[in-house]
Amino acid sequence: MSTTNDMTIKYRISCDNNDIDTEKVYSFISDSYWAKGLPRPVFDKAINNSLCFSVIQASGTNVGVQVGFARMITDRATFAYLADVYIDESVRGQGLSKALMQSIMAHEELQGLRRIMLATKDAHGLYEQFGFVKLIDIDIFMQLWNPAVYKN
């Protein structure tokens, strides 16, 4: 996070996987609408193979507590997919999702990519602030989608 941002006093954003509170992040993601029932070994593999961003309390009584997370699945050259973005309900409304997105979009390994994609059910307004738009030419996109994969 930029030191000119007022939130740096209270929060910091880290890309060090050692800073991830994996229990807390797993608990949230495995109960989310997009990854309900995610098996722990799959979560661990996803974390290890992604560029992760953790929002961490940097001051106050909860120093070191993780309050947000996002990960980019990327080749760091041409393409990235933004996934598992969340801010803990207890700290929402403080601009942390915007600060997290600013950090992600400014990350040196994500510059010059031809395409960054994401899927969201309810946060279109946030992502539109960072240039994301609905798919324009949907006829060129295809998917293999198994929404029940974690139920097997």
Which one-letter amino acid corresponds to residue 23? E
Please list the pLDDT of the chain residue by residue as tens digits (152 residues).
333 344 446 999 999 999 999 999 999 999 999 999 999 999 999 999 999 999 999 887 788 899 999 999 999 999 999 999 999 999 999 999 999 999 999 999 999 999 999 999 999 999 999 999 999 999 999 999 888 888 86
Q: Does residue 57 sit within a domain?
A: yes
Q: Is residue 1 part of a domain?
A: no
Burial of 118 (0-12, 13-18, 19+ CB in 10 A): middle
| pLDDT for the residue 86 | 95
Tell me how far CA of residue 64 lies from CA of 14, 56, 150, in angstroms.
11, 6, 31
Nearest to 105 by CA among 138, 134, 72: 72
Count of domains observed in the chain: 1
Residue 42: Cβ-neighbour burial (10 angstroms; 0-12, 13-18, 19+): middle
Q: What is the pLDDT of residues 56-68, one digit of tens each?
A: 998 877 888 999 9
Structure letter (DSSP) for residue 34? T
Residue at 127 is within a domain:
yes
pTM given for the model: 0.89
Confirm whether 129 is domain-assigned: yes
Distance CA 108, CA 125 (A): 24
Look at the block and give the residue holding tokens 């539109």.
128
Residue 69 placed within a domain: yes
Domain assignment of residue 34, yes or no: yes
Of 92, 105, 97, residue with least CA distance to 132: 105
Express each pLDDT in 69-100 by its tens digit: 999 999 999 999 999 999 999 999 999 999 99
Q: Give residue 96's pLDDT.
A: 96
Residue 76 inside a domain? The answer is yes
Q: Confirm whether 61 is domain-assigned.
A: yes
CATH number where 109 lies: 3.40.630.30
Task: Give me the count of residues in the chain.
Answer: 152
What's at 56, amino acid-wise?
A: I
Domain that holds residue 20: 6-151
